[in-house]
Structure 1
Amino acid sequence: MLYAWIDGVKRPPAFKGEHTTCRDCGGSLTAVIPVENVRHWRHKAGDCDPWSEPEGAWHLGWKEKFDIACREIGLVDSATGERHRADVLCGMGTNRATVLELQHSSISEDERNAREAFYRQAHRMFWLIHIHSETSFLAHNFGMSMDFQSRTHVLDGKKFAVMRWVGRSQQFIEKWKRAKAHVFFDWSGHIFYLASNEVSQRLGGQLKRGHFALCHLTSEEFLRAVHWHD
């Protein structure tokens, strides 16, 4: 986790060896100050959120676009006691509460479904998927698939383009087409909204396997959407 409370202030660790307590679980936290990576807090007894993953500069950069009061918000299912920490939660306690999950690494469909089931109980939910080429050809395939000329539609004033996934495996794009939350991709600093099944129907019908539709947004448009600004 990147933030913890010290003397009433929510912040990253300031120096090696600094200690505090996790507000979510009461466990002991220790500062980790890497030479090349992002400074963060480590649970002494293991993170109280089993969905926690290593975070780097991409996570930090996006979290810092939101007020610190919206970053890393612990949530508990009152019925089961299940506990998880949303990367970003805007509008908490209102009917416009929105969870934003920042996903840099690969995730299984089972875990994606579990996260959506948990966060969508009382919130609108967005995914922001980082398309990068650090461990695979994903970014290359994504870039090769971009086609905003051949099949375009305007829906509610937004331009959508239907395109075909380039690459031997279509598993990645099909997995995210099946998501129940809203899905956005961050590719080389460009933000794209992936048309949901509902939107695809309005674009002319369910898209066949390997085909998908994207809408290009500016970062400012994406942030307004998370904040649910009209």
Structure 2
Amino acid sequence: MLYAWIDGIKRAPLTKGESTVCRDCGGLLTSVMPVENVRHWRHKAGDCDPWSEPEGPWHLGWKEAFPENCREVGLIDQATGERHRADVLCNAGTAHAAVLELQYSPISEEERAAREAFYRQGHRMYWLVHVHDGPSSFTGWSFKASMNWGARPVEIDGRRYAIMQWMGRSKQFIEKWKRATGYVFLECETHIFFLAGDELARRVTGGIPLKKGEYALTRWSREDFIRSVQWTGGA
């Protein structure tokens, strides 16, 4: 985790040897000051959130786009006692509460569905999925090769959508995210795209279900995305 409470302030560690207590589980946290990665806190007895993943500059940059009190907020299911830590939680306790999950590494469909079931209890839920675009990334190549904004463009709610055809043999990545129940945003080369869910995609196609590998996409600005999570009218 990148932030913890110490001396009444929620922050990243400043020096080697610092320690504090996790407010979610009461466990001991110690500072980690790596040479080539971001400073963070480590649970001595293992992270209390089983969904926790290694985080780097990409996570840090996005978390810092939101107010400090919205970053890394623990939530508990009162019925089951299950605990998880939202990457970002805005407007907690209101009708406009929203959880943002920052997804940099691959995730199984089962875990994606489990996170949605947990975080969508009383919250709007957003995914921001990093599409790796390095020279060895088939996902990034397929995504960029699929960009065809002239393919059946349709304007819906003031935004221009187009139907893309996934380029590449495996369509597992795009099909998995098409089935998500939260709002799915994809980031590639600093550009942000909104992936239409099934109901919205049918509006784009005039009611015709998308074929395997087809998906409806529209461009968003970073500023619009942040405003939507923080609520100025929703996605």
SS across alignment from 1:52: coil
| TM-score (ref. length: structure 1) | 0.98
Confirm or deny: 8 A CA contact 2:71 2:87 kept in the other structure. Answer: yes
* 1:106-121 equivalent positions in 2, closer than 5 A: 106-121=106-121
| TM-score (ref. length: structure 2) | 0.96
The Cα of 1:44 is off from its aligned counterpart by 0.2
Distance in 1 (CA, whole Å) between partners of 2:186 and 2:175 is: 14
Distance in 2 (CA, whole Å) between partners of 1:188 and 1:151 is: 24
In the alignment, structure 1 residue 139 sits paired with structure 2 residue 147: no
* 1:28-177 equivalent positions in 2, closer than 5 A: 28-133=28-133, 136-177=137-178
Confirm or deny: 8 A CA contact 2:133 2:189 kept in the other structure. Answer: no
Code of the aligned partner of 1:173: I
The Cα of 1:137 is off from its aligned counterpart by 1.6
Distance in 2 (CA, whole Å) between partners of 1:228 and 1:12 is: 26
SS across alignment from 2:16: coil
Backbone CA RMSD of aligned residues: 0.9
Query: Matched residues, percent identical?
Result: 63
Code of the aligned partner of 2:53: E
SS across alignment from 2:155: strand
In the alignment, structure 1 residue 224 sits paired with structure 2 residue 224: no
Q: Which deviates more, 185-194 or 198-207?
A: 198-207
In the alignment, structure 1 residue 210 sits paired with structure 2 residue 217: no
SS across alignment from 1:75: strand
Confirm or deny: 8 A CA contact 2:12 2:40 kept in the other structure. Answer: yes
Distance in 2 (CA, whole Å) between partners of 1:196 and 1:68 is: 30
The Cα of 1:133 is off from its aligned counterpart by 3.5
Code of the aligned partner of 2:146: S
Confirm or deny: 8 A CA contact 2:31 2:41 kept in the other structure. Answer: yes
Q: Deviations over 1:165-193 (max 9, x none)?
A: 00000010000000011100011100000
The Cα of 1:136 is off from its aligned counterpart by 3.0
Code of the aligned partner of 2:100: L
Confirm or deny: 8 A CA contact 2:28 2:43 kept in the other structure. Answer: yes
Ranges in structure 2 where 5+ consecutive residues have no aligned partner: none
SS across alignment from 1:186: strand
Identify the residue that residue 22 of structure 1 maps to in structure 2. 22
Distance in 1 (CA, whole Å) between partners of 2:137 and 2:202 is: 32
Distance in 1 (CA, whole Å) between partners of 2:151 and 2:49 is: 44
The Cα of 1:55 is off from its aligned counterpart by 0.2
Q: Deviations over 1:116-142 (max 9, x none)?
A: 000001101000000114563211111
Q: Deviations over 1:69-123 (max 9, x none)?
A: 0000000000100000000000001000000000000000000000000000110
Distance in 2 (CA, whole Å) between partners of 1:202 and 1:141 is: 25
